[in-house]
Chain A
Amino acid sequence: MADGKGTTCLMVILILGNIFGAAAGLALCALAIWVAVDEYKLYPISGVSGKDDIFAGAWIAIFTGFAFFCMCVFGILAAAMKSRALMLTYLILMLIIYIFECASCITAVTHRDYLVGNSNLVKKQMLKYYAADGDSGSRITLTWNKVMKEVECCGTDGPVDWIEYNSTFREMYGTDYPWPTHCCKRKNNYEVVNVEACKNGQNTTMFTKGCFNHIESVFSRYTWAISWYGFAVLMFMFWLLILAMVYYLIL
């Protein structure tokens, strides 16, 4: 070939780049599996409101991450065999996977803004569905009970949410309890320390911070995993594909 040495040099760079890309793609797949598993069990908050595309982005990323891995292995093969047809196949398939991964990143980050950009959506959902009947109501109630118990918080921005707004909970129990008993501190045997003081709002017997910070940080963590890491992988793949195109041209 005319520039044999240049071709060999580019081939080596391409092979190394594809090895790194395969590792990155596999890591993306693993990270997306972590998001889809949802260890904090906050899916109902996004699912009931219909804004659950952070998890849709995670599912897409599982497949595109694995596809990146496979295609990069194929790319190593195509570069080593110096075959034009294989390189063209590699380029076109990588482009298709690139498009899907772009979609995953953008979807995840946009829906995070919808969901936890401010506390309104979470608050409205809590007031409407906590202690309500039906499937949505029971899922939201269980999720909030878990969050209030583990994070030691009450309400979205604070217990004052329960006082300021009408809610399904208030309509059922509002004559007696200003807020759910899960806002109260409990002893190790799960008994409430002091129900009367909790109803009065004494801050030694109840949780006074809001739960929104925790919910927002969990969803942000999931989103940064999918969208920012996906973004990094895509930036790397962009330059890899440019190199592959140059290699194809000089083959």
Chain B
Amino acid sequence: MIKLSIVFGNSPNVFFLCPPTVPVNNSPAINPSSLAAKLTSNSVILMPPSCYFDNLNILTCNSPTTCEIWLVTAIDTGVSNFDADKNKTYIDTLSPYPTAFSSNTSKKYFLTKLGLQKDYPCPVVAGTDYFRVGSDGSCSTPNCNGILPVGSTARFRYVLINPANKTVVAESLWSNNITLYPLKDPESIDNGFAGRSASMIVITSILCSFLALLLLLLLIMLIYVLCCREEKQEIQVPGSVRMYDTHNLKDPSPYVNRAYEDEPQRPTATSPIRLKSYTDYDLKKPATEL
């Protein structure tokens, strides 16, 4: 309540002026620029109140160096709770941040200070072109910029506050419902079989079939070799018609079997012993092959 005395002419008229909070036709919104964290599960990045309260003729707090801009964050019933409380003095103490969302009966709104009105000039200056709700993290002072409950739906409002008795002097409209991300459980990600790629099918099928073919062919070859192959070698009767010289005890020389003299090589598969015929069993005459 503000008491004013205005003197008109001769008669003093006293007006008890209880200025209602001046509404401003702007409402906060999520910052449209490409900030990747503009909406998370517990914080929001809003447009700043740069041109909201500029052209007002507020009689009490009429200097941009004294008026303070505060943000009201309200969830569910907090909207109506704040609207009921907004004409009281010392509005910043009615619902401090630590107790604002603590139970079902708490007020579900809190205020946090952005700064003086002059810090948010119009037009927007770089560096003040956003405001992050929740930048103080999980804090415990009464009016800190704390994080919101996870996944909640919040509405925001910028208010101009007279620092003398912390009353709301001007206010913007309520924003639309802004829903924060509900945190998904990573266990809900299904990391089962991701599907078969074409190369896997090609490699597996071709390799398996070729392996089976190879095994089959090897088996057939082994069976053929063991059972059905005809022997192509010549019949050999090694040395049955040879004459053997008797071992001479009186002449102790290394034994040389003269039947083998004209055959310096050992018999092999490719040069088997060929049968020869000695006429009259006489080794001195040349042999003829049979």
Shortest CB distance B83–A (Å): 29
Instruction: Encode contact with A along B154-196: 1 for CB under 8 Å, 0 otherwise.
Output: 0000000000000000000000000001011111011101111
Among the listed A92, A102, A159, which residue makes an inter-chain contact with B208, where contact means beta carbons less than 8 Å apart?
Answer: A102
Instruction: Encode contact with A along B135-160: 1 for CB under 8 Å, 0 otherwise.
Output: 10110000000010000000000000
Q: How far, in whole Å, are A45 and B213 apart by their CA atoms in the complex?
A: 38
The answer to whether A238 touches B214, judged by C-beta atoms less than 8 angstroms apart, is: yes
A-B pair count, CB < 8 Å, reads: 138
Shortest CB distance B203–A (Å): 5
A44 CB within 8 Å of chain B: no
A71 CB within 8 Å of chain B: no
Q: How far, in whole Å, are A116 and B200 apart by their CA atoms in the complex?
A: 13
In the assembled complex, which residues on chain A have CB atoms less than 8 Å from the CB atom of B283? none
In the assembled complex, which residues on chain B have CB atoms less than 8 Å from the CB atom of A64? none
The answer to whether B181 touches A113, judged by C-beta atoms less than 8 angstroms apart, is: no
Shortest CB distance A210–B (Å): 12
Instruction: Encode contact with B along A26-45: 1 for CB under 8 Å, 0 otherwise.
Output: 00000000000000000000
B59 CB within 8 Å of chain A: no
8 A Cβ contacts from A170-222 to B: 170, 174-176, 178-179, 199-203, 206, 208
8 A Cβ contacts from B222-274 to A: 224-225, 232, 270
Binding site for A on B (CB under 8 A): 34-43, 45, 130, 132, 135, 137-138, 147, 181, 183-187, 189-191, 193-197, 199-200, 203-204, 206-208, 210-211, 213-215, 217-218, 221, 224-225, 232, 270
Q: How far, in whole Å, are A138 and B138 apart by their CA atoms in the complex?
A: 26
Residue of A nearest to B229 (CB): A249
In the assembled complex, which residues on chain B have CB atoms less than 8 Å from the CB atom of A95? 214-215, 218
The answer to whether B137 touches A175, judged by C-beta atoms less than 8 angstroms apart, is: yes
The 9 closest A-B pairs by CB, nearest first: A117-B194, A201-B36, A201-B37, A127-B186, A175-B137, A121-B191, A166-B183, A175-B138, A201-B35
In the assembled complex, which residues on chain A have CB atoms less than 8 Å from the CB atom of B191? 120-121, 124
Interface pairs (5), CB distance under 8 Å: A95-B215, A106-B204, A106-B207, A178-B43, A208-B36
The answer to whether A166 touches B186, judged by C-beta atoms less than 8 angstroms apart, is: yes
In the assembled complex, which residues on chain B have CB atoms less than 8 Å from the CB atom of A105? 203, 207
Among the listed A160, A170, A200, which residue makes an inter-chain contact with B45, where contact means beta carbons less than 8 Å apart?
Answer: A200
In the assembled complex, which residues on chain B have CB atoms less than 8 Å from the CB atom of A67? none
Given contacts A102-B208, A174-B42, contact A113 B197 (CB under 8 A): yes
A164 CB within 8 Å of chain B: yes
In the assembled complex, which residues on chain B have CB atoms less than 8 Å from the CB atom of A22? none
The answer to whether A102 touches B207, judged by C-beta atoms less than 8 angstroms apart, is: yes
The answer to whether A231 touches B45, judged by C-beta atoms less than 8 angstroms apart, is: no
Shortest CB distance A240–B (Å): 11
Other A-B contacts than A166-B183, A234-B210, 4 sampled, CB-CB below 8 A, are A166-B186, A175-B137, A200-B36, A208-B36
A98 CB within 8 Å of chain B: yes
In the assembled complex, which residues on chain A have CB atoms less than 8 Å from the CB atom of B221? 245, 248-249
The answer to whether B194 touches A120, judged by C-beta atoms less than 8 angstroms apart, is: yes
Q: How far, in whole Å, are A3 and B133 apart by their CA atoms in the complex?
A: 92
Among the listed A120, A123, A231, which residue makes an inter-chain contact with B207, where contact means beta carbons less than 8 Å apart?
Answer: A231
Among the listed B41, B43, B232, which residue makes an inter-chain contact with A2, where contact means beta carbons less than 8 Å apart?
Answer: B232
Residue of B nearest to A173 (CB): B137
A110 CB within 8 Å of chain B: yes
Main secondary structure of the interface of A (DSSP, over half): helix
The answer to whether B184 touches A164, judged by C-beta atoms less than 8 angstroms apart, is: yes
Given contacts A106-B207, A109-B204, contact A120 B190 (CB under 8 A): yes
Among the listed B183, B224, B270, which residue makes an inter-chain contact with A249, where contact means beta carbons less than 8 Å apart?
Answer: B224
Among the listed B42, B199, B215, which residue makes an inter-chain contact with A109, where contact means beta carbons less than 8 Å apart?
Answer: B199
8 A Cβ contacts from A108-129 to B: 109-110, 112-114, 116-118, 120-121, 123-124, 127-128
In the assembled complex, which residues on chain B have CB atoms less than 8 Å from the CB atom of A248? 221, 225
In the assembled complex, which residues on chain B have CB atoms less than 8 Å from the CB atom of A151? none
Among the listed B40, B203, B213, B217, which residue makes an inter-chain contact with A227, where contact means beta carbons less than 8 Å apart?
Answer: B203
In the assembled complex, which residues on chain B have CB atoms less than 8 Å from the CB atom of A165? 183-186, 189
In the assembled complex, which residues on chain A have CB atoms less than 8 Å from the CB atom of B38? 200-201
8 A Cβ contacts from A71-120 to B: 91-92, 95, 98-99, 102, 105-106, 109-110, 112-114, 116-118, 120
Interface centre among B34, B37, B204 (most CB of A within 10 A): B37
The answer to whether A98 touches B211, judged by C-beta atoms less than 8 angstroms apart, is: yes
Residue of B nearest to A155 (CB): B36
The answer to whether A203 touches B185, judged by C-beta atoms less than 8 angstroms apart, is: no
Shortest CB distance B272–A (Å): 13
In the assembled complex, which residues on chain B have CB atoms less than 8 Å from the CB atom of A91? 218
Q: How far, in whole Å, are A1 and B270 apart by their CA atoms in the complex?
A: 8
The answer to whether A118 touches B183, judged by C-beta atoms less than 8 angstroms apart, is: no
Q: How far, in whole Å, are A249 and B186 apart by their CA atoms in the complex?
A: 62
The answer to whether B203 touches A106, judged by C-beta atoms less than 8 angstroms apart, is: yes
Q: How far, in whole Å, are A165 and B37 apart by their CA atoms in the complex?
A: 13
A242 CB within 8 Å of chain B: yes
